[in-house]
Amino acid sequence: MSSTPPPPTNQPAKKDFDRDSRLSFKKFGEHQLRREFKDIAVEKCRTEINAFGKCAQENGLMVVWSCRHLNKGLNACMAINNSKEAFEKYKEENQDALIAKTPGMNPSPSKSS
């Protein structure tokens, strides 16, 4: 008795994530809002970024050791300004912008009957 392998199927392998979540218009709007939020966080940390960049240029390969304190400051600044909690607050404050950036999503119509 020999076992034969199962016949190949023409169906593609299923992925772990749902197609709807990738193609959701709401996700697109949130992505646009997240990009704006990250740009704001980078601007808030611009002095730390510039200081670390200058140190890195001056020290070359020794950047890991020589600029460690600047890297920690940069990471701390970005952790504060680019956290999930800060993004959720930003999203709540900019709910109208999220709705405007989401295709097919209209603000709730006011009933004037």
Task: Provide the pLDDT for residue 113.
Answer: 41
Task: Provide the pLDDT for residue 110.
Answer: 47
Would you list the domain boundaries of the chain? 25-101
Q: In the chain, at which residue ranges do the beta strands (DSSP E only) sit?
A: none
| Sign of the four-CA dihedral 13, 15, 20, 26 | negative
How far apart CA 102 and CA 23 sit, in angstroms, is 12
DSSP state of 60: G
**Within its chain, how far is the Cα of 92 from the centroid?**
16
Q: Assess contact for 80 and 88: CB atoms under 8 A.
A: no
Instruction: For residue 34, give Cα distances in angstroms to 18, 57, 59, 60, 86.
Output: 21, 30, 33, 32, 11
Per-residue pLDDT of the chain (113 residues; tens, 9 = 90+): 556 666 656 655 555 555 555 556 667 778 888 999 999 999 999 999 999 999 999 999 999 999 999 999 999 999 999 999 999 999 888 888 777 777 665 555 444 44
